[in-house]
């Protein structure tokens, strides 16, 4: 059903766009309403319009006796489009007339005469596909003879004027969904010096200047159209004439199409008191007119047919889009094009057979033959086969002891391959890799790291299961009892591990005073806190598989003659409680720490005035003077402001294929810890405001460093593109004069990219190698390639400002081809400049 609808739309569009019936005036439009567009460049139109009509006419205001006027008119016209937007038109009319008195039944003789000669020109333009504007200017010579009584089939004097045209075309060939519908609107002005149109009215010299109003609608239906046409001429300078006292008419009709010709049939019905013609003293009886027209349309000069070939170039295996070169084989007049980052391409081709080649680095070239027959466009999608062959490795990752599936990421050291995700539900993994030998590495917390060698074979699936052995936990148990040193009474409290934020505090049972915790083997400092008791600190050693018992008897805090200071320590920005160190500066107690859960603290001090200092890592310290009075508690709250920090983030990729690298990111000259980019090459850290050198390092790649400025509360982005040691980069787009080493200006953008690589990697040392095809002698080609390599080096040094000590140049001649020298395409690939990384300074 959808195909049938599409075919109908195409048929309608074909007839509607190919043939269009002219108006009375020869130019394109309906019967009287003019279309804003033209037939098209080089189109010639010859048209004959005929009509027969009758009107009821009173002889005069004094003698209202009516007679019936019957007339037949013919119009021979033509038009020629000089350009798509300029059209000339012209024509001449004729008349056959008779009239018959209604009451006396008295016939008058039939009369014949030629009408006036008219000429016109139309200018058109379309700001958008569905909207067209036009201007039509016309001029009429009074060549006609008088046949309609004393009114005449002639204007008797020259007339001229202009019409503004607007067309709304929803069936344009550019429409996404063509709709068979068009509207036309006309507005114009006629300067008519004839004085016979309204003879019964006291006229002045401008009485016959007319405002022209017209409008029409078309409904294309394939081989025929349905249309309706409305038109009127309104006298300008006479207040006694109402709108309906002027000529008005509506014309429904049908239009038939056949190749090279168009036939119109219609009926024009007069409206108001005047009717279809501007003849005065009409009765109120209906006026009508039968219309027909036939046109012959042809193009004098047939334009050359072009069509757009378009489609998408993708990887035949992964379906990923490819940036490929598309060119026509054997036709040098057709400029090659390149598909965009989405793989889309377009190529304009003339009519006839064509062979198109599609090529991309790392893929086999493909040739497709097509034939352009029309301008409707050709869709051609291409899937290129990779030059590199692939195979699949798959398997299962599981606990060697229990068989339980495990999840993680499998990496391939010393390669730029991305990690492979292991399905956490099943432990299954699968990856498509280039053919070759690889080392697989899998590291999961709680298990021993496993490394396996694997061979990937072409178009084969290799099974490799990974059984990981759990790491034996190196842990022991710490237990004991907290009590009052004097009475032995069990006490509650909290045991903390100063300096170890990775170990949670141990809660002591207040009923029994006992505590217990499992800890990794090692040495620890523990600190017991219990309200009303002095803190106690002990060093304990935890051994693997053993239980260490440490009882903690503690002394009550001696009552001091004085008062207390208490309060909370909070984050100024968030209001969250903080664990902070609180010190009495002038020889008092402390330091003590506020509770990490509530931020509360308590100090017992003799009466007096004290300076209290509060500190916490990552925050600015603060001090406050506090007065302690005997037997009173002074409330003193503290808020700490975080040290200002900014964020540094970025991505590290391989320069050649943009694959992510898990590079090490460091900050030389500082104590800040280095960070490692994740599997997507992305890193992020926070730093205090300031200027730093940030360095990216990855094994077998050239180290890269950049200065960065960190601002408080802002994120700074610094990306890295690392170059592999020994990397060979072909600089495509470097052109030389024939048989010379003179670089053409169109090569500068490619050379400037090479300058950027060298400036981004100031320690990089490279070798520029020149290569030629096999045309010419070995000696000549070796000399030419050396000269061209030297020319590239000279550009990088003089124009790019690169230290010449970082660049070597070497001509290789024709010794290292990368394609066959038997074809022009192969020779073009062999003529190249290569940029090879050889080390660091």
- Domain end call among 554, 589, 620: 554
* Residues 407 and 427 sit within 8 Å (Cβ to Cβ): yes
Q: Is residue 574's pLDDT more than 50?
A: yes
Confidence of residue 683 (pLDDT cuts 50, 70, 90): very high
In a domain, 834, yes or no: yes
What's 522's DSSP letter?
E
Exposure of 676 in the CB half-sphere (CA atoms within 13 A)? 5
**What is the rounded average pLDDT of the residues 167-187?**
87
Same domain, 187 and 331: no
Q: Is residue 361's pLDDT more than 80?
A: yes
Quick: pLDDT tens for 189-203. Answer: 988 765 544 433 344
Same domain, 25 and 60: yes
Quick: pLDDT tens for 2-23. Answer: 443 434 333 333 334 434 556 7
In a domain, 404, yes or no: yes
| Type and span of the H or E element at 166 | strand 159-169
Task: Please list, in sequence order, all residues whose beta carbon lies within 8 angstroms of the beta carbon of residue 71, skipping any fewer than 6 positions away.
Answer: 52, 53, 54, 95, 96, 97, 98, 148
Q: Which residue has the tokens 């002639």?
A: 154
Task: Give the residue, 519 or 732, on which the prediction is more confident.
Answer: 519
Give the lowest-confidence range in 149-163, 290-304, 570-584.
149-163
Domain of residue 787, CATH code: 3.30.1330.60
In a domain, 361, yes or no: yes
- For 113, 190, 239, 264, 507, the CA distances from 213, given in Å and listed in that order, are 28, 11, 18, 22, 96
Domain of residue 712, CATH code: 2.60.40.1120
Task: Give the residue, 579 or 275, on which the prediction is more confident.
Answer: 579
**What is the rounded average pLDDT of the residues 482-508?**
91
Q: Is residue 283's pLDDT more than 60?
A: no
Same domain, 486 and 577: no
**Which of left, alpha, beta for 782 (phi over 0: left; psi -120 to 50: alpha)?**
alpha
How high is the pLDDT of residue 150?
41
How high is the pLDDT of residue 589?
58
Exposure string for 159-180, b = 16+ CB within 10 A, e = fewer: bbbbbbbbbebebbeeeeebeb
- The C-alpha atoms of residue 16 and residue 40 are separated, in whole angstroms, by 13
In a domain, 814, yes or no: yes
Which pTM does this prediction carry?
0.39
In a domain, 42, yes or no: yes
Q: Are strands 690-697 and 664-666 parallel, antiparallel or unpaired?
A: antiparallel
Question: Between helices 778-798 and 748-760, what is the axis angle to 10°?
Answer: 60
Confidence of residue 67 (pLDDT cuts 50, 70, 90): low
Q: Is residue 561's pLDDT more than 70?
A: no
- The C-alpha atoms of residue 680 and residue 677 are separated, in whole angstroms, by 7
Quick: pLDDT tens for 213-223. Answer: 999 999 998 78
Quick: pLDDT tens for 419-472. Answer: 999 999 999 999 988 888 889 999 998 888 888 989 988 888 999 999 998 877
Same domain, 625 and 672: no
Same domain, 177 and 48: yes
Quick one: 683 exposed, middle or buried, by C-beta within 10 A (0-12, 13-18, 19+)? buried
Q: Which residue has the tokens 């008791």?
A: 533
How high is the pLDDT of residue 637?
93
Quick one: 325 exposed, middle or buried, by C-beta within 10 A (0-12, 13-18, 19+)? middle
- The C-alpha atoms of residue 406 and residue 398 are separated, in whole angstroms, by 5
Same domain, 365 and 441: no
Bridge partners (DSSP) of residue 630 are: none
Same domain, 350 and 482: no
Domain count, the chain: 7
Counting residues of the chain whose pLDDT is more than 70, the rounded percentage is 86
Q: Is residue 501's pLDDT more than 60?
A: yes
- The C-alpha atoms of residue 88 and residue 22 are separated, in whole angstroms, by 12
In a domain, 267, yes or no: yes
Mean pLDDT of the chain: 83
**What is the rounded average pLDDT of the residues 325-354?**
90
Structure tokens at 285: 């009886």
| Type and span of the H or E element at 651 | strand 646-654
**What is the rounded average pLDDT of the residues 753-765?**
84
Same domain, 431 and 379: no
What's 276's DSSP letter?
S
In a domain, 723, yes or no: no
* Residues 207 and 235 sit within 8 Å (Cβ to Cβ): yes
- Domain end call among 264, 299, 334: 299
Rounded to 5 degrees, φ, ψ at 166 are -130, 135
Same domain, 288 and 315: no
Quick: pLDDT tens for 121-175. Answer: 999 999 998 899 999 999 888 876 654 444 445 556 778 899 999 999 988 767 7
Q: Is residue 527's pLDDT more than 80?
A: yes
Which 3 state secondary structure label does DSSP give 790? helix
Task: Please list, in sequence order, all residues whose beta carbon lies within 8 angstroms of the beta carbon of residue 153, skipping any fewer than 6 positions away.
Answer: 93, 95, 97, 113, 114, 115, 144, 145, 146, 147
Give the number of residues written for the chain: 841
How high is the pLDDT of residue 73?
78
Q: Is residue 100's pLDDT more than 90?
A: no
35 lies in which domain range? Answer: 2-299
**What is the rounded average pLDDT of the residues 727-747?**
79
Same domain, 481 and 578: no
Confidence of residue 98 (pLDDT cuts 50, 70, 90): low
User: Which residue, 454, 446, 401, is CA-closest to 429?
Assistant: 454
Q: Which residue has the tokens 């004290």?
A: 610
Task: Give the residue, 511 or 177, on which the prediction is more confident.
Answer: 511
Structure tokens at 112: 């014949």
Q: Is residue 416's pLDDT more than 90?
A: no
Same domain, 517 and 606: no
* DSSP output for 74-106: EEEEEEEEEETTEEEEEEEEEEEEEEEETTT--
Quick: pLDDT tens for 715-726. Answer: 999 999 888 887
- The C-alpha atoms of residue 289 and residue 273 are separated, in whole angstroms, by 15
What's 9's DSSP letter?
H
Same domain, 252 and 400: no
**What is the rounded average pLDDT of the residues 633-655?**
91
Structure tokens at 835: 């940029």
In a domain, 629, yes or no: yes
Give the lowest-confidence range in 308-322, 404-418, 588-602, 630-644.
588-602
What's 296's DSSP letter?
E
- Domain end call among 554, 570, 601: 554
**What is the rounded average pLDDT of the residues 86-107?**
65
* Residues 314 and 321 sit within 8 Å (Cβ to Cβ): yes
């Amino acid at each position: 059903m959808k195909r049938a609808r599409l075919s109908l739309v195409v048929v309608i569009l074909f007839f509607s766009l190919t043939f269009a019936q002219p108006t009375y005036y020869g130019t394109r439009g309906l019967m009287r309403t003019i279309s804003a567009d033209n037939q098209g460049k080089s189109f010639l139109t010859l048209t004959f319009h005929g009509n027969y009509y009758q009107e009821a006419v009173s002889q005069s205001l004094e003698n209202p006796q009516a007679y019936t006027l019957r007339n037949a008119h013919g119009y021979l016209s033509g038009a020629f489009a000089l350009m798509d937007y300029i059209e000339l038109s012209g024509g001449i009319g004729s008349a056959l007339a008779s009239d018959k008195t209604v009451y006396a039944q008295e016939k008058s003789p039939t009369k014949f005469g030629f009408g006036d000669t008219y000429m016109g020109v139309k200018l058109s333009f379309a700001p958008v596909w569905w909207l067209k504007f036009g201007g039509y200017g016309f001029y009429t010579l009074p060549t006609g003879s008088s046949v309609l009584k004393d009114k005449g089939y002639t204007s008797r004097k020259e007339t001229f004027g202009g019409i503004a045209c607007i067309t709304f075309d929803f069936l344009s060939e550019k429409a996404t969904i063509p709709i068979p519908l068009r509207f036309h609107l006309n507005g114009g002005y006629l300067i008519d010096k004839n004085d016979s149109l309204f003879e019964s009215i006291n006229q002045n010299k401008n009485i016959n200047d007319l405002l022209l109003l017209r409008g029409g609608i078309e409904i294309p239906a394939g081989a025929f159209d349905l249309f309706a046409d409305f038109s009127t001429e309104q006298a300008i300078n006479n207040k006694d004439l109402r709108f309906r006292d002027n000529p008005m008419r509506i014309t429904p009709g049908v239009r038939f199409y056949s190749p090279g010709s168009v036939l119109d049939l219609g009926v024009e019905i007069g409206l108001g008191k005047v009717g279809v013609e501007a003849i005065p003293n009409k009765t109120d009886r209906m006026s009508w007119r039968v219309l027909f027209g036939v046109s012959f349309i042809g193009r004098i000069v047939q334009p050359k047919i072009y069509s757009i070939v378009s489609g998408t170039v993708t990887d035949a295996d992964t379906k990923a889009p490819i940036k490929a070169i598309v060119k026509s084989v054997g036709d040098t007049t057709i400029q090659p094009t390149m598909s965009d980052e989405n793989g889309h391409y377009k190529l304009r081709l003339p009519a006839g057979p064509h062979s198109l080649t599609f090529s991309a680095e790392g893929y086999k070239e493909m040739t497709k033959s097509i034939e352009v027959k029309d301008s409707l466009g050709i869709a051609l999608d291409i899937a290129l086969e990779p030059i590199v062959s692939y195979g699949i490795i798959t398997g299962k990752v599981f606990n060697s002891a229990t068989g339980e599936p495990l999840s993680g990421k499998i990496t391939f050291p010393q390669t730029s391959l991305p990690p492979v995700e292991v399905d956490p539900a099943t432990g299954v993994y699968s990856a498509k890799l280039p053919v070759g030998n690889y080392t697989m590495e899998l590291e999961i917390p709680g298990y021993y790291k496993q490394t396996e060698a694997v061979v990937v074979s072409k178009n084969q699936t290799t099974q490799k299961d990974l059984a990981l052995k759990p790491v034996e936990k190196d842990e022991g148990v710490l237990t004991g009892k907290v009590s009052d040193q004097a009475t032995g009474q069990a006490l509650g409290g909290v045991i903390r591990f100063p300096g170890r934020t990775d170990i949670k505090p141990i809660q002591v049972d207040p009923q029994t005073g006992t505590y217990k915790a499992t800890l990794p083997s090692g040495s620890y400092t523990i600190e017991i806190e219990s309200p009303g008791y002095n803190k106690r600190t002990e060093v304990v050693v935890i051994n693997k598989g053993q239980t260490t018992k440490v009882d903690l008897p503690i002394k009550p805090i001696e009552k001091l003659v004085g008062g207390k200071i208490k309060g909370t320590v909070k984050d100024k920005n968030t209001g969250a409680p903080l664990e902070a160190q609180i010190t009495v500066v002038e020889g008092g107690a402390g330091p003590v720490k506020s509770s990490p859960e509530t931020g509360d603290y308590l100090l017992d001090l003799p009466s007096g005035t004290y300076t209290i200092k509060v500190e916490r890592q990552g925050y600015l310290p603060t001090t406050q003077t506090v007065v302690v009075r005997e037997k009173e508690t002074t409330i003193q709250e503290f808020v700490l402001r975080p040290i200002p920090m900014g964020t540094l983030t970025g991505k590290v990729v391989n320069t050649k294929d943009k694959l992510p690298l898990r590079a090490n990111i460091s900050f030389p000259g500082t104590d800040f810890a280095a960070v490692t980019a994740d599997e997507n090459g992305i890193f992020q850290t926070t730093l205090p405001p300031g200027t730093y050198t940030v360095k990216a390092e990855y094994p077998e790649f050239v180290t890269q460093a950049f200065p960065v400025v960190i601002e408080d509360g802002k994120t700074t982005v610094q990306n890295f593109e690392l170059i592999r040691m020994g990397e060979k980069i072909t600089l495509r787009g470097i052109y030389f004069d024939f048989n010379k080493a003179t670089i053409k200006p169109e090569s500068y953008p490619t050379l400037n990219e090479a300058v950027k690589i060298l400036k981004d990697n100031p320690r990089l040392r490279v070798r520029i190698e020149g290569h030629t095809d096999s045309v010419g002698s070995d000696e000549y080609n070796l000399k030419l390639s050396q000269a061209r390599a030297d020319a590239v080096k000279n550009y990088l040094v003089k124009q790019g400002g690169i230290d010449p000590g970082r660049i070597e140049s070497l001509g290789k001649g024709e010794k290292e081809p990368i394609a066959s020298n038997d074809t022009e395409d192969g020779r073009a690939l062999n003529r190249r400049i290569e940029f090879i990384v050889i080390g660091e300074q």
